[in-house]
Chain A
């Protein structure tokens, strides 16, 4: 009782010491959930627009319908990439993410590829399976009937077939491959150049099996829409992802900062950007068929900033915003907040410079080429900015007293006896 009294006295004192209008953790995680809900709702609506465009392409294959489908795919990536910051720290998102955004892929699993791609590899005996051309095959000892290509076949049988991560059969990048085809230009200019005739039925069909190819594109797009629908619902009012972050605001704040830091450092700066540069490998770019990697990186970075500033601009220009993590940090350490805001702006600017360079005609894969000093400087500029902001994100965790709040349960914390087993 005495302890409790002391605790409430202490917390009352602490509250008095803060500015009157300081954001409350519960409100801040509420903003976070609102932004997530809007981002996934926009991902869903733009994916539905893609679905309509794909239906048009299949019904009337032509230059214009193929281009319209590609344009719709590119538009769909804008909100989705801003959602990637929700992935780390939210197990619901992380467990699901592989279905919609897995990368890199052994695209020969799905459709025809150039001879330079090679065949099956030591790591993946299905790297060149070509489901479009192969209605029946054996997979890990089971006979597979792929006569009819359905979302279930793609999602439950083909995706990560044989337990191999690069057997990506579903999601944005599978659809991207079906629209653009392989980018055979290496680190030279040009994206994938799949002809619309790959979807013509009858005599004009190129590369064979156009009807099955169309069925694959349709099924993969439909599956993407239904997967996004699931996640949009999870963040809407009453959804499980929203409940997970709002139930315990401290854990919710921890999830927010975990997402920001893990995406900035290990994932984007490391896995996606620096590694690609060090491998000089044109396939080490996130949207490798469409040459859209500059946008993919840019909107990833913007998503991190959205979470901190508590503000997301939707494709229609309207803004979802509310009490922010930034305000919460500022109340504890105003200097840290100013620093982190400046660093986030700097990383968005550095990623913007890559985007501008790509839009002026030098694709991301060209920037990766060995000996391209200017491209390397642009990429490393963004990598360094992302690494820099990670240190401040870590400091924000400390400033908010969130050290030691594990979002995912650890064995020893949940079960002290586990350590003795």
Chain B
């Protein structure tokens, strides 16, 4: 059934006029993705106002995180301005800045929680989905101040989501009018295609080289404690949702790419078979092997997408936010 739907979707895309790649990606994938995140973040804020207890708020937290995974790889435009995407999801955090900053805030009962404008100035390490995860899953964080912090964090997330969505109302037309007179951001259609293609490639690399590589560590020294969102046991779920989101973007950009589709399908299947929600089994040989195979599959997929989607769009990867070390 799913395959049929996929085939139908592919046919629908094929029927679109040529050069619809950027428009399809923006209108059918990116904008709905951000709308979904805004909605989920708003629902989280409402839920936190109603009841800030962790057990009550966890479903709304997961829904918001799920919605974020649909757009988390888009590290350009409004999500990158003001560092909003980092403020929403600051990970990895190799120095443990998040836990340290939150411990300081809690010890001092930092009054920033009372004022959304002041809270917006708090270190990104102590904001966003990962701060909320600690508040909802670390049993040490309880009490009235933790409740106020939970509410402030949810409100801040809803604000960030709304700002990004509002920003895209301005940014989307720039992508859609690439190459037209007066568009100084994208001088050619190719630049708009390259910008989207770069997000796709960087997203694949982030999942393989951070989400999977960090917990894998080395054979002698696996690092399960470094898995993303392990407290709320969403490490594997984030990998799966990220792959699904990247697949939607790839399909929008280059609908007729059977090798890319096969690659995503294979990676998705391997991830679904993992049955290790927090990637905690990277320490035992069997568990580790499965994660390594998935990682190799995504590396191969990255190469397929380079030749397949890259060639269809006539672009190669541009510079991206993850180019640093």
Q: For the complex, give the distance between the alpha carbons of A261 and B263 in Å.
A: 30
- Which residues of chain B have C-beta atoms less than 8 A from A195's C-beta? none
Partner-contacting stretch, out of B50-58, B133-141, B171-179, B219-227: B219-227
Known contacts: A262-B324, A266-B324. The answer to whether A370 contacts B121 by CB under 8 A is yes
The segment from B1-9, B21-29, B314-322 found at the interface with A is B314-322
Q: Does any Cβ of B come within 8 Å of A418's Cβ?
A: yes
Q: Say whether A121 faces chain B, with CB atoms less than 8 Å apart.
A: yes
Q: Which of A261, A371, A413 contacts B121 (CB 8 A)?
A: A371
* Residues on the B chain within 8 Å of A104, using CB: 95
Which one of B36-44, B236-244, B277-285, B299-307 contacts A? Answer: B299-307
Interface residues of A in 252-292 (CB under 8 A from B): 261-262, 264-268, 270-272, 274-275, 277-281, 283
Asked whether any CB of chain A lies closer than 8 Å to the CB of B218, the reply is yes
Task: Return the contact of B324 from the options A272, A393, A421 (Cβ within 8 A).
Answer: A272
- Check A418 against B319 for contact (C-beta < 8 Å): no
Instruction: Determine if B111 is an interface residue (Cβ-Cβ < 8 Å).
Output: no
| B97 CB-CB contact with A under 8 Å | yes
A139, B218: Cα distance in complex, Å: 15
A1 at the binding interface (Cβ < 8 Å): no
B144 within 8 A of A: no
Other-chain contact of B217, A163, A262, A267 (Cβ < 8 Å): A163
Q: Is A390 an interface residue (CB 8 A)?
A: yes
Rounded to whole Å, the gap between the CB of A257 and the closest CB of chain B is: 9
What residues on B are CB-neighbors of A165 within 8 Å? Answer: 94
Is B304 a contact of A266 with CB atoms below 8 Å? Answer: no
Stretch at the interface among A310-318, A353-361, A403-411: A403-411
- A418/B300 contact (C-beta < 8 A), A162-B221, A281-B97, A395-B187 known: yes
From residue 91 to 128 of chain A, which have CB atoms closer than 8 A to chain B? Answer: 104, 121-123
Q: In the docked arrangement, what's the CA distance between A370 and B125, Å?
A: 13
| CB pair A270 B194 closer than 8 Å | no
Residues on the A chain within 8 Å of B32, using CB: none
The docked-state distance in angstroms from the alpha carbon of A121 to that of B83 is 27
Q: Kindly state whether residue B124 has any CB partner on chain A within 8 Å.
A: yes
A390 CA / B318 CA spacing, docked (Å): 10
What is the distance, in angstroms, from B310's C-beta to the closest C-beta of chain A? 8
A412 and B307 in contact (CB under 8 A), knowing A267-B323, A271-B325, A275-B86? yes
- Bound-state CA distance A371–B321 (Å) is 25
CA distance A279 to B123 in the complex (A): 4
Verify A270–B94 contact, CB threshold 8 A: no
B259 interface residue per 8 A CB criterion: yes
| A20 CB within 8 Å of chain B | no
**How many Å lie between the Cα of A272 and that of B321 in the bound state?**
12
Are B190 and A394 interface neighbours, CB within 8 A? no
The A contact surface, by secondary structure, is helix
**CA of A259 to CA of B133 in the docked complex: distance in angstroms?**
37
Give Cα A398–Cα B86 distance, bound, in whole angstroms. Answer: 30
**A410 contacts B306, CB within 8 Å?**
yes
Contact yes or no, B304 A265, CB < 8 A: no
Let me know if B87 is at the binding interface, CB within 8 A.
yes
A271 to B124 CA separation, bound complex (whole angstroms): 14
- Which residues of chain A come closer than 8 Å to B300, judged between CB atoms? 411-412, 418-419, 421
Contact flags B254-293 to A (C-beta < 8 A → 1, else 0): 0000010001000000000000000000000000000000
Given contacts A279-B125, A394-B194, A418-B303, contact A121 B221 (CB under 8 A): no
Instruction: Tell me if A419 and B318 are in contact (CB < 8 A).
Output: no
Cβ A280 vs Cβ B319 within 8 A: no
B182 within 8 A of A: no
Q: A166 to B304, alpha carbons, bound, how many Å?
A: 34
Measured in the bound complex, the distance between the Cα atoms of B225 and A393 in whole Å is: 39
Would you give the shortest CB distance from B185 to chain A, in whole angstroms? 8
B259 contacts A419, C-beta separation under 8 Å: yes
Contact indicator B83/A398 (Cβ below 8 Å): no
Check: B96 CB closer than 8 A to any chain A CB: yes
Closest to B92 in A: A123
Closest chain-A Cβ to B46's Cβ sits at a distance in Å of 27
Task: Return chain A residues, CB-CB under 8 Å to B123.
Answer: 278-281, 370
Cβ of A88 within 8 Å of any chain B Cβ, yes or no, is yes
Which residues of B are found within 8 Å of A3, using beta-carbon distances? none
Assess the B323–A279 pair: CB atoms within 8 A: no
Interchain CA distance A123-B303 in the complex, whole Å? 32
From known contacts A267-B324, A418-B300, infer whether A394 and B218 are also in contact, taking CB-CB under 8 Å. Answer: no
A280 and B315 alpha carbons, distance in the complex (Å)? 37
Give the CA-CA distance A113 to B318 in the complex, in Å: 42
Indicate if the CB atoms of A419 and B307 lie closer than 8 Å.
yes
- A421 to B304 Cα, complex, angstroms: 11
**Shortest beta-carbon distance, B168 to chain A, in Å?**
18
A140 at the interface (CB under 8 A from B): yes
What are 20 A-B interface contacts by the 8 Å CB criterion? Answer: A122-B225, A123-B225, A163-B217, A165-B94, A261-B319, A266-B323, A270-B321, A278-B86, A279-B97, A280-B123, A370-B121, A370-B123, A371-B121, A395-B187, A403-B316, A410-B303, A412-B300, A412-B306, A412-B307, A418-B300
17 A-B pairs besides A262-B324, A270-B321 with CB distance below 8 A are A123-B225, A163-B217, A163-B221, A267-B324, A275-B83, A275-B86, A278-B87, A278-B124, A279-B124, A280-B123, A370-B123, A398-B190, A411-B299, A418-B303, A419-B300, A419-B307, A421-B300
Residues of A within 8 A of B (CB): 88, 104, 121-123, 140, 162-163, 165-166, 261-262, 264-268, 270-272, 274-275, 277-281, 283, 370-371, 390, 393-395, 398, 403-406, 410-413, 418-419, 421
Which 3 pairs across A and B sit closest by C-beta, in order of nearness? A266-B323, A412-B303, A271-B324
